[in-house]
Amino acid sequence: MREVPFGRPIIGDEERNAVMEVLQGHMFVHGPLSKKFEDAFAQYTNAPYAVSVSSCTAALHLAYFYLNIGPDDEVIVPAQTHTATAHAVELCGGKTVFVDAEIRTGNIDIEQIEAKITEKTRAISVVPFLGMPLNMDRIKEIAEKHDLFIVEDTALAIGTYYKGVHAGLHGDVGCFSFYPVKHMTTAEGGMLITKNEKIANTVRRTRAFGVDRHIGERKQPVYDVTMLGFNYRMNELQAAMGIEQIKRLDSILQKRQQNYEVLSQGLMEISEIKQLQSSHDEYQSSYYCLSILLENELTDKRIDIINFLKDKGIGTSVYYPKPVPLLSYYKNKYGYQDNEFPIASLISNHSIALPVGPHLNEEDMNYIVDNLKTAVITVNRS
C-alpha cells in the first residue's frame, strides 16, 4: 500500500555530514555555525537581524520578555492557533485576549480586533494560519493607532509573503520554528527576526542569561550580568543542520506549492468539501498543508473520513483540535464558554488537514483525491 505520511523532514547526506563535522570538534555552543546560520536566514528572508534560539516558543517568550509584559498587560491573540502563541504571553504573566478566526482563511478576524483593545493592551500577535498571510497593512494601522507592538508567530510561514515582504518583517518581531514537521528543521530550534537593532541586541543577551558579552566578545574571562535572561541558545549541531536546510528551501517550497495546486484542483470535484483560501494577488502562502472544511452531511463524519484515509496509508492532522481559549488551562483561568469563538470552533470541529509536504509528489496528491472521493461516498452511505 502507498504510504502518504502527513509530514517528514527532508534530510540528506549534507545534513548528516555537517552534524558529524561538528561532533568531530569540541565546540558545541558559541561556535561560528549559529552565526553563519543567522546570516543565511537573514539573507533568505531579507531580515536586517536574525537571532537563533532553541525554539519558536523561546523566540515568542523572548519577545514578550523584551516588552516587559506583566500582570497589568494584555495581548491580543488569535483563538485559532498553536497553544505556544498564547503561552508565551502567559509565561510573562500577561493576559491573553483572544479574537475569533475568519472563515475564509482561518486567520484572525481583523475586524474584531479593535473591540478587544483596552488601555491595558500592549501588543497584537498574528499568525499566518497554516502559512497564509493576512492583511498586515490593516494590522499595522490598528497597531499604530493604539500604539501596540506586533509579534508575528511565523512558525509555519517560511516562504510566506505579503506584498513581496517576507512574513515576520511586517511587525516588530517574527518568530520561526524548526521543529521536525515544519518547512525546514534543526530537530528543535527557532529564529527571531527583526528590523530593530535594539530588539536584536537585547534578545541576544536575554537568550543567554543576560550576560553582557558572549564568549567570543570576551578578551578576559570576566563578564557582568545586566539583566535577567534564559538559556534559549541554539547549539552548533542544530545550526549545522539549519545551514544545509536553508539551501533546500527553494525546492521545498516549490514542491509544496505544486502538490497543493494538484490537490486543490482535484478536491474541487467534491462538492461537500470546502477549502480554506490560499495564495492570491499580494498574498503568497507557504503551503503548510491543505485544510478542508466538511460541510452538510459530512460535518459529523469527520472521524470516519480520517479513519478511512488512515486505512489507505494517508496521514492527516487537525489544525488545531481546539481553539486555544477552550483548552482547559485557558478555559479554567478565564471562564470561556464553548460558543464564544464560533469560527475557530467550526475550523477545529469540521476541518481535516491534508499533507502537501516535499516528501510527497503528484501521484500522492491524486491518491489522496481518489481516496477522499471514495471516503465521501462510503461515509454518506453508512
Q: Residue 127 or residue 199: which is nearer to ligand PLP going by CB?
A: 127
How does DSSP classify residue 280? B
Q: Residue 132 or residue 352: which is nearer to ligand PLP going by CB?
A: 132
User: What is the length of the chain?
Assistant: 382
* Interatomic CA distance for residues 170 and 179, integer angstroms: 23
* Cα end-to-end span (Å), the chain: 24
Smallest distance from the beta carbon of 176 to ligand PLP, in angstroms? 8
Q: Count residues near ligand PLP (CB under 6 A).
A: 14
* Interatomic CA distance for residues 295 and 317, integer angstroms: 18
Using the rule CB under 6 A, which residue among 41, 98, 179, 341 binds ligand PLP? Answer: 179
Using the rule CB under 6 A, which residue among 133, 190, 242, 357 binds ligand PLP? Answer: 190
Q: Residue 59 or residue 343: which is nearer to ligand PLP going by CB?
A: 59
Smallest distance from the beta carbon of 153 to ligand PLP, in angstroms? 5
| Residues with Cβ within 8 Å of residue 88, at least 6 apart in sequence | 57, 60, 61, 63, 64
Write the DSSP assignment of 307-335 as a string of letters: HHHHHTTB--B-S-SS-GGGSHHHHHHH-
**Residue window 109-128: x/- pattern of binding to ligand PLP, with contact defined by CB under 6 A:** ------------------x-
Binding residues among 72-101 for ligand PLP as defined by CB under 6 A: 81-82, 84-85
Q: Residue 15 or residue 152: which is nearer to ligand PLP going by CB?
A: 152
Using the rule CB under 6 A, which residue among 105, 177, 185, 206 binds ligand PLP? Answer: 177
* Nine cell digits for residue 371: 481516496
* Interatomic CA distance for residues 101 and 9, integer angstroms: 29
Q: Residue 56 or residue 124: which is nearer to ligand PLP going by CB?
A: 56
**Residue 151 near residue 175, CB atoms below 8 Å:** yes
Q: Residue 57 or residue 259: which is nearer to ligand PLP going by CB?
A: 57
Q: Is 247 helix (H, G, I), strand (E, B) or coil?
A: helix
**Residue window 138-167: x/- pattern of binding to ligand PLP, with contact defined by CB under 6 A:** ---------------x-xx-----------
Smallest distance from the beta carbon of 103 to ligand PLP, in angstroms? 19
Q: Residue 89 or residue 211: which is nearer to ligand PLP going by CB?
A: 89
Residue among 93, 35, 86, 58 nearest 230 (CA)? 58
Smallest distance from the beta carbon of 183 to ligand PLP, in angstroms? 10
Smallest distance from the beta carbon of 85 to ligand PLP, in angstroms? 5
* Long-range contacts formed by 319-322: CB under 8 A, 24+ apart: 319/106, 319/129, 319/130, 319/289, 319/291, 319/347, 319/351, 319/353, 320/80, 320/81, 320/82, 320/83, 320/348, 321/348, 322/348
Q: Residue 91 or residue 270: which is nearer to ligand PLP going by CB?
A: 91
Q: Residue 190 or residue 323: which is nearer to ligand PLP going by CB?
A: 190
Binding residues among 1-60 for ligand PLP as defined by CB under 6 A: 55-57
Smallest distance from the beta carbon of 55 to ligand PLP, in angstroms? 3
Smallest distance from the beta carbon of 157 to ligand PLP, in angstroms? 8
Backbone angles phi, psi at 189, to 5 degrees: 160, 165
Smallest distance from the beta carbon of 244 to ligand PLP, in angstroms? 18
* Interatomic CA distance for residues 150 and 137, integer angstroms: 12
Alpha helix positions (H), the chain: 13-24, 32-45, 56-66, 83-91, 136-146, 197-206, 236-267, 302-311, 328-334, 342-350, 362-381
Angle separating helix axes 362-381 and 302-311, nearest 10 degrees: 130
Binding residues among 277-336 for ligand PLP as defined by CB under 6 A: none
Q: Which residues bind ligand PLP (CB under 6 A)?
A: 55-57, 81-82, 84-85, 127, 153, 155-156, 177, 179, 190
